Amino acid sequence: MAEKKKETHQSLLLGRYEIGKLLGHGTFAKVYHARNVKTNESVAIKILDKEKILKGGLMVHIKREISILRRVRHPNIVQLFEVMATKKKIYFVMEYVRGGELFKKVAKGRLKEEVARKYFQQLISAVSFCHARGVFHRDLKPENLLLDENGDLKVSDFGLSTVSDQMKDGLFHTFCGTPAYVAPEVLARKGYDAAKVDIWSCGVILFVLMAGYLPFHDQNIMSMYKKIYKGEFRCPRWFSPELIRLLTRLLDTNPATRITIPEIMENKWFKKGFKHVRFYIEDDRLCSVEEDDIESLSEKSFSESESEQPEPRKRVLGLPRPASLNAFDIISFSPGFDLSGLFEETGEEARFVSGAPVSNIISKLEEIAKVVSFTVRTKDCRVSLEGSREGVKGPLTIAAEIFELTPSLRVVEVKKKGGDRGEYEEFCNRELRPGLQKLVCEESAAAAAAVAAAAVATEPLVLSDTE
């Protein structure tokens, strides 16, 4: 029995993951199904050989892929959970997508229009999200689109992806992609707009989903390139006029007049049944929000503290007690003795000390969020404030956590979790800091008033004693 336990422990990858069957392999990597023994969660682990990567000069390429996957966290993109390394191997621990490749589904025949539209909508949502963050896939095809157990699409394989800061003269020049899905301007080798290249690939994918075959195909690759360059394709008879018009714009050989992402999202065929993807990040994991729940969620988030509750005290008493700060925590809060850098990289953060009860602090954070139309999520003594405005780095997301310094004092620690640093600093200076300082002043004034009232209440008793 002890021997069996020892064997199991040794088979665990870095003591946490139980490796299962091989899912796929390439020149430099193998992908396995694995199980996190602590959480029982299924994951996919991509194992790369360091020696092969170094010999191939791909280390920069791998680092870029990690950076890109961390930047594009979206419900329709395969998630990277963590990266680990040993002397010989690099491990990407990723979301395990059970449904396999979309390509296998299309290989059985064309899809129904409503099914193809759903996948195309999810693809465009993911691509739009990437482009807003300066990330371009450059190898979109059904083989790189996976389906989860709910039948939702997940974009994978960002190995050929690039970012906007790698452009020369405002264009990209690297020839890459899969021949049948590559845009004509890439073939011209004169530089290209990577966003427009992704849109072309999306057009080819949509055609394949609806037709069951490629729009540009030939046994001779040079003949196929000529067809792509000229934009020669014919739509089958079952394509609706609306779909044909959309495909004509998607597969426009002139990138300057090719349809854009915002125009796609306003297209009549595309918009049928379309729901914007809503999500937030909590505990470093993606959490999706259904469109139908947005209104009720916002109402609860913004007005829970102000709503007329028959017994308002029950909610206050139900709040968990905040975590206490130990001596090390208090020392690390001091700028002169900030030891947190020894353990992790510190992001933008601020701290406030307040004598207000936890319920009052949460109410004040909800009040501040309401002013700027942020969504609020509360879990125990942690509050997440999420903006709705999309920027290059995504919506501004701020995490606030309340700690107990003494029985009568609380520390509110505020950190930027996502979004632009300038927008975060502006929000802190204009809304958050004044709002929390106002709370401190209100509590001080209330305390002073209470002391004064107590003094007035006891004064007649003192006078009556002397008389």
Q: What is the pLDDT of residue 344?
A: 37
Mean pLDDT of all residues in 265-292: 75
Q: Which residues line the annotated binding site for ATP?
A: 46
The first and second tokens of residue 272, run together, are 């049928």
Active site amino acids: 139
Q: In the predicted model, what is the mean pLDDT of residues 349-364?
A: 80
3-state secondary structure of 140: coil
Cα separation of the two ends of the chain = 88
Q: What is the mean pLDDT of residues 203-224?
A: 92
* pLDDT at 251 (0 to 100): 96
Helix count and strand count (H, E) for the chain: 17, 18
Q: Which of 258-267, 310-319, 350-359, 449-458 has the highest mean pLDDT?
A: 258-267
DSSP notation for 250-286: HT-S-TTTSPPHHHHHT-HHHHTT----EEEEETTEE
| pLDDT above 90 for 296 | no
Mean pLDDT of 71-89: 88
Among 49-58, 424-433, 445-454, the range scoring the smallest mean pLDDT is 445-454
pLDDT value of residue 257:
96
pLDDT band at 12 (very low <50, low <70, confident <90, very high): confident
Mean pLDDT value across the chain: 77
**Is pLDDT of 342 > 50?**
no
Locate 208 and state its tokens: 């394949």
Of residues 165 and 120, more confidently modeled: 120
pLDDT of residue 294: 40
For the stretch 306-335, pLDDT in tens is 333 333 333 333 455 566 555 545 544 444
Counting beta carbons within 10 angstroms of the beta carbon of residue 276, is it exposed (0 to 12), middle (13 to 18) or buried (19 or more)? Answer: exposed
Nearest to 138 by CA among 61, 214, 49: 61
For 327-456, CATH number out of 3.30.310.80, 3.30.70.560, 1.10.630.10, 3.40.1190.10 equals: 3.30.310.80
pLDDT at 301 over 70: no
Whether 228 has a pLDDT exceeding 70, the answer reads: yes
More confident residue, 262 or 467: 262
**121 versus 462: which is more confidently predicted?**
121
pLDDT of residue 45: 93
For domain 100-162+179-266, the CATH class is mainly alpha
Instruction: Give residue-wise pLDDT tens across range 164-180.
Output: 545 444 444 455 567 88
Q: Where are the domains of the chain?
A: 13-95, 100-162+179-266, 327-456
User: CA angle, 78 as apex, 212 and 165 as ends, to 5°?
Assistant: 100
Residues 147-172 as b/e (b if ≥16 CB within 10 A, e otherwise) read bbeeebbbbbbbbbbbbeeebeeeeb
pTM for the full predicted model: 0.64
Pick the closest to residue 361 from 413, 323, 314, 407 (CA basis). Answer: 413
Q: What proportion of the chain, given as a percentage, has pLDDT over 90?
A: 29
Q: What is the mean pLDDT of residues 89-96?
A: 91
Residues 224-253 have a mean pLDDT of 94
Residue numbers belonging to the annotated binding site: 46
Would you call 225 helix, strand, or coil by DSSP? helix
| pLDDT for residue 73 is more than 80 | yes
13-95 adopts what CATH topology? Phosphorylase Kinase; domain 1 (3.30.200)
pLDDT at 7 over 70: no
CA-based torsion, 358, 310, 366, 437: positive or negative: negative
Name the 3-class secondary structure at 128: helix
Is the model's pLDDT at 463 over the cut of 50? no
Q: What is the mean pLDDT of residues 66-77?
A: 86
d(CA 355, CA 409): 5
Q: Work out the percent of the chain whose per-residue pLDDT is above 70.
A: 71
Residues 6+ apart with CB under 8 A from 17: 34, 35, 36, 37, 43, 45, 93
pLDDT at residue 15 tops 80: yes
